[in-house]
Amino acid sequence: MLGRNRIQIKTPEQIRTMRRAGLVVAEGLAAMGAAAVPGATTADLDRIGREVLARNNASSNFLNYGADWGIPPYPGVACISVNEVIVHGIPDARELHEGDTVSVDYGAIVDGWHGDGARTFLVGDVSDEVRELSEATRESMWAGIATIAAGARIGDVSAAVQISLESHERSYGIIREYTGHGIGTEMHMDPDVPNWGRAHRGPRITTGMCLCVEPMATLGSEDTATLDDEWTVRTVDGSWASHWENTVAVTDTGLWVLTEPDGGKAELEARGVPFGPID
């Protein structure tokens, strides 16, 4: 199961189980996105995430994460990050307001196999620059996903994300400290999938690999700061951030985006990328 560089290769049956976890993630993200309205708290969203896990007999891969690291274990089932918070925001009594953005990173475990995804939700009427940031980050995620194929390299994915984010008239900060990753029987596994890099470099992608493509971008600097809670990561300059992520499986016939309700079919076909669900 673990090949060169300790990269985990999955069987079709194992990928099918990861699809079940991915569908729980998709359901939870959709439910939390629908609830991201003015007046809701980030704790309200986390509660909804817990309800989705319970309804699907799934467990959380976020709750108590880090307990063995000598830092406070993460207390939520979702990382809920508002405005200038990039990632790892802790759910609490903070209320959402008209014009806010909220990035939700959420995961699930089904029969020992993990799914992981993130979305940036827009709360009510937001500014054009915030809307464009979220769309640019989402598009860079799909640009990276579209390069995944057996025989390609991780650097191809990283370069595609970077090129996409740098293709806009406005300059975005590309977060370098936090990256995408492999996933399977653990949430974070080899290989790392940076959001910048050079094509044709890094580990070779093979059938049976599952990867999380996870760009984070800001309206300003890429510099980050971690708060005293040892989790919450925000921008140093106060600029707002966006975060998107999907879990992707490489199959014999193409790609299966495990955390999208349609398996990524619409987005992949629009980009001319083979869609490869496992029956």
Annotated binding site: 88, 105, 116, 181, 188, 214, 245
d(CA 116, CA 24): 10
**Tokens 């996933």, residue located:** 183
Distances (CA, A) of 216 to 40, 80, 128: 24, 14, 18
Task: Report which DSSP code applies to 10.
Answer: -
Tell the residue number behind the tokens 């007999």, with chain if given: 57
Binding-site annotation, residues for a divalent metal cation: 105, 116, 181, 214, 245
Positive or negative: CA dihedral 65, 154, 262, 178:
positive
Q: Say if CB 199 and CB 156 are below 8 A apart.
A: yes
Distance CA 183, CA 18 (A): 9
Q: How far apart are CA 126 and CA 12, in angstroms?
A: 42
Q: Which residues fall in the annotated binding site for substrate? A: 88, 188
**In the block, residue with structure tokens 């629908």:** 34
Backbone dihedral angles phi then psi of residue 59, each to the nearest 5 degrees: -115, 165
| Residue that is written with structure tokens 């560089």 in the block | 5
**How many alpha carbons fall within 13 Å on the CB side of residue 162?**
17
* Start-end of H helices in the chain: 12-34, 42-55, 128-146, 154-165, 265-270
